Amino acid sequence: EVQLQASGGGLVQAGGSLRLSCTASGSTFDDYAIGWYRQAPGQERELVASIWKDGKNTYYAVGVKYRFTISRDSAKNSVFLQMNSLKPEDTAVYYCNVQPPLAPYWGQGTQVTVSS
């Protein structure tokens, strides 16, 4: 069955960087747009960035553009999110999924905590 696993989160100081990885198993996601989503406690899940199957067309939410970069490597069946200049407000659980998302593929995400 299809599974999407997010990894690479951790605890960093404001201004630091993290690189998140999303890897699919059970199936390739080369034919799908992939999104990174995040959810802070008490907040709704939001789309942070997405990348089209062509690996070129991208979307970034207001507030992360120019700091975050989404990319994909079809050879590794993976999608990445490079996060630079992290801010405390970036603290959340980060998930990857197809875009538009499918509920069974959310997984548990990876925690990103940015200290001030």
9-27 pLDDT tens trace: 999 999 999 999 999 887 7
The residue that leads in pLDDT, 87 or 26, is 87
Residue 1: pLDDT band (50, 70, 90) is low
Please, are residues 81 and 68 in contact by the beta-carbon 8 Å criterion? yes
Separation CA 90–CA 26 (nearest Å): 30
Check pLDDT > 90 for residue 81.
yes
> HSE-up of 58 (CA within 13 Å, CB side)?
18
Separation CA 7–CA 102 (nearest Å): 19
25-60 pLDDT tens trace: 877 888 899 999 999 999 999 999 999 998 999 999
